[in-house]
Amino acid sequence: MESLSSIRVRFAPSPTGYLHIGGARTALFNFLFARANGGKFLLRIEDTDLERSSEAMIQYILDGLNWLGISPDEPYVLQSENRGKHISAANKLLNEGKAYRCFCTKDELEIQREKAQSAGKVYRYSGACRSLSDEAIKENLAAKMPYTVRLKIPDGVIRFKDMVFKKISVNNSELDDFIILRSDGTPVYQLAVVVDDAEMGISHVIRGEDHLSNTPKQILLYLALELPVPQFAHLPLILGNDGKRLSKRFGATSVGEFQELGFIPEGVNNSLALLGWSPKSNQTIFTLEELTAQFDMSGISKKGAIFDFDKMKWINGQHLTCLPAENLFARVANAWLDKGFIEEKEIENRHDYLLRSIDLLKERVRLVNEFVTFGSWFFTDPADYDEEGVKKHWESSDSSLLLSRLLEKWQNLASFSEEMTERTLRQLADELEIKAARLIHSVRLAVTGFTVSPSLFAVLAHLGKETVIRRIRLALSFIKNNSGKQ
RNA sequence: GUCGCGUUCGUCUAGUGGUUAGGACUCAGGACUUUCAUUCCUGCAACAGGGGUUCGACUCCCCUACGCGAUACCA
C-alpha cells in the first residue's frame, strides 16, 4: 500500500448523468489542493448503484472535468470493480469478531423503527443479533436465512480534526451497529468508500459537508480494518437562493448548462473557487494557475454559500476581457458558426477579420453567447434597428439630411481609416453647427442596428467603406419608408 | 425527536479582545468617452437575540432562535 506521506486526493461522484456544479467545486478544490501540495488528483466513479450508471454518464463527468481543465492524474477507478475487496474486508471483520451477522428481516426492522418513532424515541438498531450464540448462527445459516453484516461499534467517543470544521467529536452511542454488507451480499457505501480510499492510497478526503456526519462511521471502519485514517476536509454546501441545497429549481446546476449559457471554464473555475474559499488578498479574478498558487485550506469557510449568478457573469466577463482574442477564437467562431453567421471555411479564410471582431467586442460581453447577440452586424446588415434608438436618433426632420451629407463625404474618401472617418465626421459636424454626437449616434444605429457598440470609428474601419456606405443607404431608405407611414 | 455543524451588508466574504467593521457582485449617483454593457469615483447597506467573562467583545463561554446536514439493507 502507498504510504500516506504522498498526497493523493480524489473526487468520487456517482454517475448521475451530468456533472453537478457542487460536484465540480468539490473536484476543483481537490484538484487545487493536490496541485498546491505536489499531490495527485484522482477520480473514482461510485457506480455501486449499477442500474443508474452507464458509460455515457461516466463520460459526462469526464467531459465536464476536462472542459474545466481539471482532469484526473490517473485513469479513473470504478467502485463496482472493487466489489470483491469490499466483501473480503467485511469477511475479515466477521472473522475477527469486529462485525457480526444479523438475521433480522427488513420488515422486522421497519416495525421497530416505526414503533420507536411513534413513541417519539430515537431509533437505533437493538443489537439483537450482536450476541447470537454460535449454535444459533449455525442453525440460521443451515436454514439458509438471509443475513446482513453489521459493524460492532465499541463504546467510546470518536474525535477527529477536520481541516475545515476543526475538532469534531461524536459519542459512539449515537451510532448504531450499521450494516456494511447487504443481505444480497453487496457492500454498503460506507464500507466501499473506506476500502476504496485505502486501496487508492487517499491521504486527504475532501468532500461536501453532507458527509460530515458519515465520517465517524467511516473512521470506525478504518480502525476496525486497521487501515491508516486519512485527513478529512468537508466543504460547506452550495445553496440556492432560498438557502436550501441547490437543486434543479434554480436553473443552471450542471457544468454543461453553464457551458451552454456561454460561460468559459476560466470564469466557472474562478466563481466556484470563490464559493466557500477566499484568498488572503483582495484579489477576485484568478486564473487556474493563480488559484493553484494561492489555494489554502485555511481559507475555506464553514458557511454554506448561496450561489450568485450575477457575480458569476461578471467574473466570466472579466475573464473574457482579459483573455487574448486568440484564446477565445475557437469558442466564439464556433458560436458564430452554430448561429449561421459564418460558414466553416470562413473560420480560416476570414481569420483576421473574425479575430479583430472578437477583439472589438470582448471587453463588452460577459458570456460567449453575447458575441452572437451583439455581434450580428459583423456579418450581416442590420435586419432591424433598436426601437429606442430610432426614436432618439432618426425621428427628427433633418435625420436623413445628416446621413446623406455624411454619405457624400465618405463616398469620396480614398482611405477609410479610423482617423479619416473621424476627421471628416467632425468636420461635417462643424459645418452644420451640430454636435458630433448626433452624427455618431445616427451612424452607429445605421451600421450596427444597436445604440451601443465598440468605438464607432474602429467599427467603421473594421467593416470597411463598402459595407458602411451600403448600410447608410439602407438606413436612409428605412427612415424614408418609416416617416412616410406616419 | 436525537446528534452534528453553522449564523458579519440583499449575495460572496475579510476580520482570531481595542478597526470610522474592509473588499467584491448587485443597486443608486457622478466622471470620462461619440454612446455603452467598458473604465474610474462616490454612495446605500451587516456583526440573529439574550445572558455572562473582561477595563473593553463581531471576536471567548452559555442559552434561545433560525438554517443546513445526518440519522436507510441510498450514495
ipTM (interface predicted TM): 0.91
CB of A347 closer than 8 Å to CB of A356: no
CB hemisphere CA count around A420 (13 angstroms): 13
Cα separation values, A444 from A139, A232, A460, A465, Å: 91, 58, 9, 14
Point out the residue nearest to B35 (C-alpha to C1'): A452
CB of A445 closer than 8 Å to CB of A385: yes
Rg (CA), chain A: 32
Cα separation values, A372 from A139, A176, A309, A333, A447, Å: 74, 58, 20, 10, 16
Cα separation values, A34 from A68, A207, A280, A453, Å: 16, 14, 19, 44
A248 is catalytic: yes
Query: Which nucleotide is closest, CA of A373 to its C1'?
Result: B37
pLDDT in tens, chain A (486 residues): 444 469 999 999 988 778 989 999 999 999 999 999 999 999 999 987 666 667 888 899 999 999 999 999 999 999 999 999 999 999 999 999 999 999 998 888 888 888 887 777 778 887 788 888 899 989 999 999 999 999 999 988 888 999 999 888 888 888 889 999 999 999 999 999 999 999 999 999 999 998 998 999 999 999 999 999 999 999 998 988 777 777 666 667 889 999 999 999 999 999 999 999 999 988 999 999 999 999 999 999 999 898 889 999 999 999 999 999 999 999 999 999 998 999 999 999 999 999 999 999 999 899 999 999 889 999 999 988 988 888 888 888 888 888 999 999 999 888 888 888 988 998 888 888 888 888 999 999 999 999 888 989 999 999 999 999 999 999 998 988 876 544
Cα gap A247→A254, rounded to integer Å: 10
Cα gap A255→A252, rounded to integer Å: 8
Bridge partner list, A100: A150
Q: What is the pLDDT of residue A113?
A: 84
Cα separation values, A63 from A56, A67, A77, A210, A325, Å: 10, 6, 16, 25, 24
> What's the CA–C1' distance between A210 and B68, in Å?
9
Cα gap A21→A309, rounded to integer Å: 12
Point out the residue nearest to B36 (C-alpha to C1'): A452
CB of A371 closer than 8 Å to CB of A361: yes
Query: Which nucleotide is closest, CA of A321 to its C1'?
Result: B38
Query: Which nucleotide is closest, CA of A164 to its C1'?
Result: B5
Longest dimension (CA), chain A: 112
The one catalytic residue in A106, A115, A138, A248 is A248
Q: For residue A5, what is the DSSP state? A: T
> What's the CA–C1' distance between A486 and B13, in Å?
56
Q: What is the pLDDT of residue A369?
A: 92
Cα gap A459→A463, rounded to integer Å: 6
SS (H, E, C) A310-351: HHHHHHHHHHHHHCCHHHHHHHHHHHHHHHCCCCCCHHHHCH
Phi, psi of A467, deg, nearest 5: -65, -45
Point out the residue nearest to B75 (C-alpha to C1'): A189
Point out the residue nearest to B11 (C-alpha to C1'): A308
Residue A378 CB neighbours (<10 A)? 23
Point out the residue nearest to B6 (C-alpha to C1'): A303
Query: Which nucleotide is closest, CA of A216 to its C1'?
Result: B4
Pairing between β-strand A204-208 and β-strand A231-235 as defined by DSSP bridges: parallel
Phi, psi of A81, deg, nearest 5: -75, -15
Query: Which nucleotide is closest, CA of A150 to its C1'?
Result: B73
What's the whole-model pTM score? 0.91
Per the listing, cell 466543504 goes with A235
Q: Residue A104 contacts by C-beta under 8 Å, 6 or more apart in sequence?
A: A125, A128, A129, A148
Query: Which nucleotide is closest, CA of A271 to its C1'?
Result: B12
Residue A303 CB neighbours (<10 A)? 10
> What's the CA–C1' distance between A306 and B65, in Å?
21
Give the residue among A33, A95, A89, A72 at the shortest CA–CA distance from A300.
A33
> What's the CA–C1' distance between A282 and B24, in Å?
8
The alpha carbon of residue A193 and the mean position of all alpha carbons in its chain are separated, in whole angstroms, by: 24
* Contact positions of strand B to protein Cβ (< 7 A): 1-8, 10-14, 22-26, 34-39, 67-75
> What's the CA–C1' distance between A300 and B50, in Å?
30
Residue A277 CB neighbours (<10 A)? 24
Q: Residue A123 contacts by C-beta under 8 Å, 6 or more apart in sequence?
A: A112, A113, A116, A117
Q: What is the DSSP track for A140-189? A: HHHTT---EEEE-PPSSEEEEEETTTEEEEEEGGGS---EEE-TTSPBPH
By CB atoms closer than 10 A (0-12, 13-18, 19+), residue A355 is middle
> What's the CA–C1' distance between A25 and B43, in Å?
35
Cα gap A15→A47, rounded to integer Å: 6
> What's the CA–C1' distance between A399 and B17, in Å?
70
Give the residue among A213, A162, A221 at the shortest CA–CA distance from A190.
A221
